[in-house]
């Protein structure tokens, strides 16, 4: 055995081993190994938005937001205002959603529309989930969303694509910028208050829609409502804490009803499905500001709130709104600015009048005041044309005073027909007198007026109806006729002095009728002059006062004599003179009697009956 060979063999084996070890070592160094990546935390919101637009600058093409995107020193939004950030976020979400929808197969147009909804929804929900205090916009958007959702749950038929509910919510959302100033920092204590108030109005609007399914509430009406009604309430919020407390309580009590009143006016008296219109937001604002300002100034001291209560005030507010809708010019000065004091004066004035006439306290007083405002307001343009120095609000207050004082005294006395008059009838009586007076030039004023004379005259006549031969409705009809004739014949029927021809003749007819009842036999004596017959006789006599009354003025008892003559004939010939005959005779003969001064002959009676 060769030693050389052995040694060579051993070396060969070792070299083979070495080669294997070398390979293994190389493998250990060079094998694929795990290298950790640089880790990054989740991106913040603002960072995500900035990075998105850095990577996708074309997303800003044609967008107004592009004005806030600056390219140097690094592409960035030029402010950290959360409102602007939110808008960028919404745009980013929209583009992302759009890209995803297109990837899923939607057309560009559909994707764009749906993306806006998706992005908007995600943004609003982000606000809800955000732990930061929401921006003014976020808070308002969430308020609107939440109220809409309430109604979606309660009245699902109101909502859906293009539905009225969705449209109304959209209209309100568009008005957010009416309530949020350009510089959100200017909102001060109103931040938080305004979105709550907008929510109240939206709720009232949706409630109105719910109750009136055929109603369409137009965008421009919502715009005027918000700027004319909601905004003034927001802006009147005092900064002083004590005053703010009082004001917030008032708003809590009244904002909802005020909003409902405003929407009710939109829904009422619709000639077509479009409903009414709010013509001028400044006029609406004047009424609204007056209500809340007046309440603030008197809430502690009483007066209007005491007099009318919350419900009454809302009714008055609605009447003011009605006038502001129908004739907005009444609340605007010549330079177009709103007359803020006007409705306040109306509230104060009517409260004072009613306070002085406690007969008309509570709901009836409010109804009287509402009637005065609406009636005079409806005719105010004419009144102002006649005498621009007589402010219509003062005329309304004066008219209210004149009606309530006189009728109140009558009710207090309890005499005659007044004893049977209920509140509704009193109101109706006041209305017919006011309406006639309001539409007659010159009948209303701020001094002693024809209206006052008419009311006094009617009241005196009513007080004389001791036998209650006429119902309250009869008296209302008589009053209407008397007022009409008085309007057509200024100064003739109800003088502004002590004399009142109409009162005298009415009294005469009543006396005769009363005597016929009080002769001891009542109905058994077959008198005809009562109820409808008596009413028609009185109205015929009153109407005749518009004709030739020369002889009547010379002989004030002429009417009495005529009526007594008829009653006597009826008593003597009951078969000839029924109730219809008496009515016919009075109507056809009274004019001639007043003109001639002579009582009718038998022939004239027969001829009249035969006609």
Partner 1 sequence: MKPLVPLVLAISLSACVTLEQVKTASNIIKLDNELEAEVRRDRNNPSAATFSLSDIAAEATARAQDADRAAADAISYYRIAATAYWQNHDPAQNTALAEVASLGQQACASVSEKERPDRDCFYLKLVVPFAAIEEAQRNVWPVDETDKGKTRFILDDVNMSDGASNKDIDLTNTAIKGLQNIRTGISALAKIGAENAPLPDNIEGYFCRNTTEAIVRFDGAASTLQSSVETYFRGNPTPNRLTVDLAGAGKLTEFIGTGSLAGVCGG
84 vs 102 by CB, closer to partner 1:
84
Q: How far apart are CA 588 and CA 582, in angstroms?
A: 10
Q: How far apart are CA 73 and CA 70, in angstroms?
A: 8
How far, rounded to the nearest angstrom, does the alpha carbon of residue 397 sit from its chain's CA centroid?
21
38 binds partner 1 (CB under 8 A): yes
Among 2, 39, 239, 269, binds partner 1 (CB under 8 A): 39
10 binds partner 1 (CB under 8 A): yes
18 binds partner 1 (CB under 8 A): yes
As a three-state string, the secondary structure of 397-409 is: HHHHHHHHHHHHH
Among 8, 12, 43, 149, binds partner 1 (CB under 8 A): 43
- Binding residues for partner 1 restricted to 206-265, rule: CB under 8 A: none
Among 25, 117, 149, 580, binds partner 1 (CB under 8 A): 25
Q: How far apart are CA 308 and CA 257, in angstroms?
A: 14
77 binds partner 1 (CB under 8 A): yes
> Quick one: which H or E segment has residue 551?
helix 550-554
Among 8, 9, 12, 48, binds partner 1 (CB under 8 A): 48
* Shortest Å distance, C-beta 53 to partner 1: 8
Segment interacting with partner 1, rule: CB under 8 A, options 14-22, 218-226, 336-344, 590-598: 14-22
Count of residues near partner 1 by CB under 8 A: 50
Among 1, 5, 33, 610, binds partner 1 (CB under 8 A): 33
Q: Six-digit token pair at 382?
A: 């004419």
Q: Six-digit token pair at 480?
A: 């209407």
Q: Six-digit token pair at 30?
A: 């060079």
Q: Six-digit token pair at 36?
A: 């950790």
Among 8, 12, 17, 274, binds partner 1 (CB under 8 A): 17
Among 1, 2, 5, 27, binds partner 1 (CB under 8 A): 27
21 binds partner 1 (CB under 8 A): yes
Q: Which residues contact 314 (CB under 8 A, 6 or more apart)?
A: 254, 257, 258, 261
40 binds partner 1 (CB under 8 A): yes
3-state secondary structure (DSSP) of residue 309 = helix
- Binding residues for partner 1 restricted to 432-451, rule: CB under 8 A: none
79 binds partner 1 (CB under 8 A): yes
319: which DSSP letter? Answer: H
> Quick one: which H or E segment has residue 76?
strand 76-77
Q: Which residues contact 133 (CB under 8 A, 6 or more apart)?
A: none
Per-residue string for binding with partner 1, 480-509, x by CB under 8 A?
Answer: ------------------------------
Tell me if 227 sits within 8 A of 178, measured CB to CB.
yes
Among 2, 58, 64, 74, binds partner 1 (CB under 8 A): 74
Locus of tokens 């219809």: 580
Name the residue among 250, 238, 174, 164 with its Cα closest to residue 205: 164
Among 81, 243, 326, 564, binds partner 1 (CB under 8 A): 81
* Shortest Å distance, C-beta 264 to partner 1: 40
Among 2, 67, 131, 336, binds partner 1 (CB under 8 A): 131
45 binds partner 1 (CB under 8 A): yes
Whether omega before 120 lies within 30 degrees of 0, making that bond cis, reads: no
Angle in degrees, 0-180, between the axes of helices 531-544 and 501-517, rounded to the nearest 10: 150
Name the residue among 448, 446, 438, 435 with its Cα closest to residue 479: 435
80 binds partner 1 (CB under 8 A): yes
Q: b vs e for 526-539, b when ≥16 Cβ sit within 10 Å of the residue's Cβ? A: ebbbbeebbbbbbb
Segment interacting with partner 1, rule: CB under 8 A, options 12-20, 239-247, 519-527, 590-598: 12-20
Segment interacting with partner 1, rule: CB under 8 A, options 66-74, 194-202, 263-271, 372-380: 66-74
* Residue ranges binding partner 1 (CB under 8 A): 7, 10, 14, 17-18, 20-22, 24-25, 27-31, 33-48, 50-51, 54-55, 72-82, 131-132, 184-185
């Amino acid at each position: 055995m060769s030693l050389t060979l052995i040694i060579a063999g051993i070396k060969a084996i070792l070299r083979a081993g070495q080669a294997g070890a070398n390979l293994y070592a190389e493998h250990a160094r060079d094998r694929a190994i795990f290298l950790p990546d640089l880790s990054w935390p989740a991106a913040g919101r603002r960072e995500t938005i900035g990075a998105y637009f850095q990577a996708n600058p074309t997303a800003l093409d044609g967008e107004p937001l592009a004005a806030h995107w600056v390219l140097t020193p690094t592409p960035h939004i030029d402010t950290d205002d959360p409102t602007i950030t939110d808008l960028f976020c919404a745009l980013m979400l929209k583009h992302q959603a759009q890209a995803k929808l297109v990837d899923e197969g939607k057309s560009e147009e559909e994707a764009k529309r749906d993306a806006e909804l998706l992005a908007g929804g995600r943004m609003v929900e982000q606000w809800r989930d955000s732990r930061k205090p929401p921006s003014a916009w976020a808070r308002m958007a969430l308020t609107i969303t939440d109220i809409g959702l309430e109604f979606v749950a309660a009245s699902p038929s109101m909502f859906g694509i293009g539905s009225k509910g969705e449209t109304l919510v959209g209209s309100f959302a568009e008005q957010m910028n009416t309530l949020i100033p350009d510089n959100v920092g200017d909102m001060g204590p109103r931040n938080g208050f305004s979105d709550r108030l907008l929510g109240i109005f939206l709720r009232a609007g949706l409630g109105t829609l719910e109750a009136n399914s055929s109603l369409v509430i137009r965008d421009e009406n919502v715009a005027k409502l918000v700027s004319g009604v909601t905004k003034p309430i927001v802006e009147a919020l005092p900064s002083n804490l004590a005053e703010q407390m009082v004001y917030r309580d008032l708003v809590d009590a009244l904002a909802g009803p005020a909003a409902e009143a405003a929407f009710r006016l939109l829904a009422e008296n619709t000639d077509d499905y479009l409903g009414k219109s709010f013509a001028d937001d400044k006029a609406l604002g004047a009424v609204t500001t007056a209500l809340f300002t007046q309440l603030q100034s008197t809430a502690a001291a009483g007066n209007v709130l005491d007099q009318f209560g919350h419900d009454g005030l809302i009714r008055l507010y609605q009447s003011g709104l009605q006038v502001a809708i129908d004739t907005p010019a009444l609340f605007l000065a010549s330079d177009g600015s709103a007359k803020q004091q006007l409705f306040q004066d109306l509230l104060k004035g009517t409260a004072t009048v009613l306070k002085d006439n406690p007969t008309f306290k509570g709901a009836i007083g409010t109804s009287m005041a509402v009637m005065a405002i609406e009636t005079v307001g409806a005719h105010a343009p004419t009144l102002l044309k006649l005498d621009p120095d007589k402010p219509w609000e003062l005329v309304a207050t004066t008219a209210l005073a004149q009606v309530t004082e006189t009728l109140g005294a009558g009710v207090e006395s309890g005499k005659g027909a007044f004893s049977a008059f209920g509140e509704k009838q009193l109101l109706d009586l006041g209305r017919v007198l006011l309406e006639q007076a309001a539409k007659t030039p010159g009948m209303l004023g701020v001094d002693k007026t024809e209206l006052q004379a008419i009311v006094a005259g009617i009241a005196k006549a009513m007080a004389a109806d001791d036998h209650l031969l006429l119902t309250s409705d009869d008296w209302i009809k008589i009053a209407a006729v008397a007022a009409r004739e008085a309007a057509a014949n200024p100064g003739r029927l109800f003088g502004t002095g002590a004399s009142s021809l109409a009162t005298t003749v009415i009294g005469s007819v009543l006396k005769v009728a009363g005597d016929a009842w009080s002769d001891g036999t009542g109905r058994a004596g077959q008198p005809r002059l009562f109820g409808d017959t008596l009413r028609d006789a009185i109205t015929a006599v009153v109407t005749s006062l518009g004709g030739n009354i020369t002889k009547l003025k010379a002989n004030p008892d002429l009417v009495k004599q005529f009526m007594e003559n008829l009653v006597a004939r009826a008593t003597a010939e009951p078969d000839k003179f029924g109730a219809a005959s008496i009515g016919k005779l009075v109507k056809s003969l009274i004019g001639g009697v007043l003109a001639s001064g002579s009582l009718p002959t038998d022939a004239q009676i027969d001829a009249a009956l035969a006609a």
